[in-house]
Chains A and B, each alone.
Chain A
Amino acid sequence: QKEVEQDPGPLSVPEGAIVSLNCTYSNSAFQYFMWYRQYSRKGPELLMYTYSSGNKEDGRFTAQVDKSSKYISLFIRDSQPSDSATYLCANRGTSYGKLTFGQGTILTVHP
């Protein structure tokens, strides 16, 4: 079993839709949770991070963590074609050090 699992998709939604991206993990030691966005042939860029259960909001993005079920979500409101990318969740047990990445979910937002 992989430590971090993501549905690879692909996920296709119309512009303006609410997108839900999900990730599960098995390692109870994970305490820090990140979401990265990666455009084709580019390096990932950090969208959000959180280290507690509950919700964290940043503009159109909301990260949700449920440590009891080891379930992480990223919601994108009012999705735009420019949101089309691969979304990677990444976890680690401390505030520093290496990250464990999920497989990534490919998202396409069509006009």
Chain B
Amino acid sequence: GAVVSQHPSWVICKSGTSVKIECRSLDFQATTMFWYRQFPKQSLMLMATSNEGSKATYEQGVEKDKFLINHASLTLSTLTVTSAHPEDSSFYICSATARRGDIDTQYFGPGTRLTVL
């Protein structure tokens, strides 16, 4: 159980276009989802915390108008990279939380590799 999917798994787009990435919890409901980006051989950098039915909370330095997050249901959150540029090329990973025992556990999706030309 606790499977999280992401779609697409990879995407190549032209500079200036927008790209939408979906994150779904397949067999559980997740009140909270998180969005991360990861550069090669580096750790996960949290971008934002997404709660169902409310506005996302962005980390310092993350442009909320550029990285639009929508969490419309307990199983789906989307990240839209607007007017993408080459510096936005990265590995984007989402996680969905579920209560397991006495803690909330984050279950991660397989990631989406974005390449902006």
Residues on A lying within 8 angstroms of B by beta carbon are 8, 32, 36, 41-46, 49, 51, 88, 95-99, 101-104, 106
Give the docked Cα–Cα distance between A98 and B89 (Å): 24
* Residues of the A chain whose Cβ atoms lie less than 8 Å from the Cβ of B54: none
Residues on B lying within 8 angstroms of A by beta carbon are 4, 6, 32, 34, 41-44, 46, 49, 91, 93, 95, 97, 102-111, 113
Interface of B is mostly: strand
Interface of A is mostly: loop
19 additional A-B pairs beyond A43-B108, A97-B49, beta carbons within 8 Å, are A41-B91, A41-B111, A41-B113, A42-B110, A43-B93, A44-B44, A44-B93, A44-B108, A45-B108, A46-B105, A49-B105, A88-B44, A97-B104, A98-B34, A98-B46, A98-B49, A102-B43, A104-B42, A104-B43
* Residues of the A chain whose Cβ atoms lie less than 8 Å from the Cβ of B95: 43
Give the docked Cα–Cα distance between A101 and B105 (Å): 14
Chain A residue at minimum C-beta to C-beta distance from B6: A43
Sample (13) of A-B pairs whose CB atoms are under 8 Å apart: A41-B113, A43-B110, A43-B111, A44-B44, A44-B108, A46-B107, A88-B43, A95-B103, A98-B34, A101-B44, A104-B42, A104-B43, A106-B41
* Residues of the B chain whose Cβ atoms lie less than 8 Å from the Cβ of A42: 110-111
Q: Are A43 and B4 in contact (CB under 8 A)?
A: yes
B106: min CB distance to chain A, Å: 6
Chain B residue at minimum C-beta to C-beta distance from A43: B108
Chain B residue at minimum C-beta to C-beta distance from A39: B110
* Residues of the A chain whose Cβ atoms lie less than 8 Å from the Cβ of B34: 98
* Residues of the A chain whose Cβ atoms lie less than 8 Å from the Cβ of B46: 98-99
Q: Are A96 and B108 in contact (CB under 8 A)?
A: no
* Residues of the B chain whose Cβ atoms lie less than 8 Å from the Cβ of A101: 43-44
Give the docked Cα–Cα distance between A32 and B105 (Å): 11
Q: Quick one: which of B43, B46, B91, B93 has the most chain A CB within 10 A?
A: B43
* Residues of the A chain whose Cβ atoms lie less than 8 Å from the Cβ of B107: 46
Give the docked Cα–Cα distance between A41 and B77 (Å): 21
* Residues of the A chain whose Cβ atoms lie less than 8 Å from the Cβ of B93: 43-44
Give the docked Cα–Cα distance between A61 and B102 (Å): 21
Give the docked Cα–Cα distance between A106 and B34 (Å): 24
